[in-house]
Chains A and B, each alone.
Chain A
Amino acid sequence: MIKLKLNGVSKAYGATKALSHADLEIEAGEVHVLLGSNGSGKSTLSKIVAGSVRPDAGEILLDGKPVTITGPQSARSHGIAIFYQELSLAAHRTVAENISLASLPSRAGIFVDGDALEERAQRYMALFDGVTGDGFSLDAVIEDLRADQRQLVEIIKALAIEASVIIFDEATSALDRAQVERFFEILRALKQKGRSIIFISHRMDEIFAIGDRATVIRDGQIVGTKRIADTSPSEIITMMVGGHDETDAKAVEHHAPTGAAALALSVKNLGGRGFGDVSFDVRKGEILGFGGLHGQGQSAVLKALFGAAPPTSGSVELDGKPLNPANPRAMIRQGVAYVSGDRAREGVVTGRPILENVMPIHYLRDRMILAHPPASARKALPALQALRTKFAGLGFPISSLSGGNQQKVVIARWLIDRPAVLLLDDPTKGIDLSAKADLFALIRKLAEEGMGIVLYASEDAELLDNADRILVFNGGAVRRELTGTARTRYNLYQAAYEAA
């Protein structure tokens, strides 16, 4: 029996087609796996079904009848629950409160029924008895919990809705083996009861352990659906990639410098929060790519090298000289640059003029105390022009620029005094396609001028198109190095999706 059906559901964010004409059928009593690389549209599809994103077109049918889902509350009342990939927990509230947040049991209509609240939370928490770890209790505050424990709360929150369709969007990414085992037992029990489950995960072993059918989605389009029993990991990866060897990297234009080029950066056995034993070299003129699934340690390594979250072990050499990444100020003075894709939080100085957004690094490196605006402008303009930044005037606030141009301003900061090494932490997040092309052209130019560049990109296509060499991260370690013609989508996925 078909429980949930999507007909031609589409969603675009500006020029990005997050989902195009998606058709999907979910049966009652099945675990339906959704598969696709980062940015392929899985979360968008999930959120549309769960009511927190409005589709541009298409219809949703439940039990064969078309329904209009106007918001998360409306989705719940239709019997749809979701585990959000980025979680939906209130950080300062307790576990029990979070579990029932949207449907607080009440006394006299206005008071929270504390007993019912705890009883309800207790009942669902019991499902995970023994695998929750220390400090996990009814009245623990979310903020104090570990990442895996927060995911458990979000899982329990979704379970407590007792919905007939439950979506788990990367619900196992931080869980350990025992927790995953228990979670799968719960899923099997739900299946027995005839519930429909949409399960999103990147781990092949999990998909084959729990899934009944799998649908692959690529660039916002549904590629096809297979019975798990009739398929194999390599067939699924081929579907995700779209042909075995067809989408090779632009390996042909091979700019990578020869092995003789001097080392810009040499990292040995680096360890810290979220990664361990990472070693690599970056030559002058080279773009080294970091690949793999989200959050496998790529950003953590870059932040550690910049001193933002100093490493706890290992050694780093810059231009052959040992370096201690103690804090960002020291690293900036040594000539290490870092650009984050999270502009709003880690890049721009919001509300301040463009000029002031270009200059801080220069001020720091020159140990300047007083700023001299005309002199600053003389330095800032060439840097901005080199990036083809579109702006009305240096005095305009940074917020008057598009995301792509804001990011160019952030990069321009580093061009006044050239760094030796440029660390790019998913720099193109939320930037339009033409600005992306500009940025990558610039990055290549900087490399050709002798800079050593490390690029982490969460979109695999960017990496394959722009990196000379790719290190695939998995579980905080480098799993595989792809060079030359081995830089294919297929190889990248295979290394990324292997069980860590």
Chain B
Amino acid sequence: MTMASAPARPQSRSALKRTFERYPFLPALIILVVLIVLNGWFQPRSLSFVGITGLIKTYLALMLLAVAQTYVIYAGDIDLSAGAIVSLVNVVVVGFMAQWGGDGLTILAALGLGLATGLACGLVNGIVVAALRLQAIVATFATSIFFTGLALYIQPVAGTPAPTLFWRTYGGRILDIPFVFYVVVAFAILLVVLVRTRLTLRLLAVGDGQQEAFQSGLPVTAVRIGGYALCGVFAALAAFCITGDTASGDPLVGGKMTLFSIAAVVLGGSALAGGYGTVVGSVIGALIIGFINSLVFFVGTPSEWQNLVQGLAILLALMAGVLVGRGARA
């Protein structure tokens, strides 16, 4: 039971509260800064230019997938097939390039095909969940098995190499700046653009209450399908990064990323129930997971303990986020 509240809090307190409400990713940002400092403490080189570039290269895919997941979660839905879409797009792109050669034009065509594949998967999810009204968790779990099955059919075993031009570009430099930085900038611009779209606002409104949104005259089904479609496209972009990073096709590469993407969204301060959140938070959430993993490595955790420590660290980060947020909002 809460006691009768104290007579009026000082003004600064409520300003802090408002700041935290407006930027729900602030607790995550604080945790991220702490993790970065810890990383630098245990391994100064991890914060060097090369270290950061490597980390971004490895975790860009998860950042993109976390963003993908965010759009679905905005509307109060969830996509358990996001990782499977990554796998499917990965093998489609690598398979296409292996078939038609590795010149620039073929690579662009392959990427186009990959985007179309992601979009198609997203639309399937959206139709199954929003139009056929199946439970999102179960329905996308089923489609994840289906997409994985497709990926295994296209490429039964891992190992088909991606063309040299492709991974060299992703891992290389243009004008002395690592290519991934251009990707990051493009990604940032894309997110800024998307924040201002009507779709984003409508997704959030649907997440706040489907009945209210319907009664207001929003096309609820179409909006939810739109969220899944956007998720599919971002999952395809995540697949491109994975392909660049691993330089090969693997029909199971994305599977375990799904739950990490959901964890990143929650770490970033978005509500799983929908209606409330930011994509920036999800990017930060993905980075938190990335820095936790590298920290676990840098402090010299024996390999058989690494999963256990990672798991505990993510739990701690979640708790810290909740506590910081609650403390500031109370």
Contacts and interface: CB of A to CB of B under 8 A. Distances in A.
B216 A72 contact: yes
A93 B21 CA distance: 12
Nearest to B215: A88
Contact of A88 (B21, B193, B196, B216): B216
Interface string A54-93: 0000000000000000011101100000001001111111
Interface stretch (B56-64, B198-206, B309-317): B198-206
B98 interface: no
B198 A102 contact: no
A91 B209 contact: yes
B185 interface: no
B198 A104 contact: yes
Interface residues of A, number: 32
Given A102-B217, A110-B199, A312-B4, A90 B21 contact: no
Nearest to B200: A112
B214 interface: yes
A91 B213 CA distance: 11
Nearest to A107: B196
Contact of A52 (B21, B196, B202, B215): B215
Contact of A327 (B1, B21, B193): B1
Interface string A454-467: 00000000000000
B103 interface: no
B196 A111 contact: yes
Interface in A194-234: none
Interface string B214-240: 111111000000000000000000000
Interface residues of B, number: 25
B209 A112 contact: no
Interface in B1-46: 1, 4, 21
B147 to A, nearest CB: 28
A94 to B, nearest CB: 10
Nearest to A91: B208
B198 to A, nearest CB: 5
A310 B1 contact: yes
B122 interface: no
A96 B215 CA distance: 18
B197 interface: yes
A92 B208 CA distance: 7
Contacts of B205: 90, 93, 97, 101
Contacts of A90: 204-205, 208-209, 212-213, 216, 275
A192 interface: no
Contact of A101 (B21, B218, B275): B218
B166 interface: no
Interface string A112-134: 10100000000000000000000
Contacts of A106: 198
A112 B196 contact: yes
User: When A and B form their complex, which 4 residue pairs have the shortest distance between CB atoms, in order from nearest?
Assistant: A102-B217, A90-B208, A72-B217, A90-B205
24 contacts: A71-B217, A72-B214, A72-B216, A73-B218, A73-B219, A76-B217, A84-B215, A90-B205, A90-B213, A90-B216, A90-B275, A91-B208, A93-B201, A93-B205, A97-B205, A101-B201, A101-B205, A101-B216, A101-B218, A102-B218, A106-B198, A110-B198, A141-B21, A157-B216
Given A90-B205, A101-B202, A102-B216, 18 more contacts: A71-B214, A72-B214, A72-B217, A73-B218, A90-B212, A90-B216, A91-B209, A93-B201, A93-B204, A93-B208, A101-B201, A101-B216, A101-B217, A101-B218, A102-B218, A111-B193, A111-B197, A327-B1
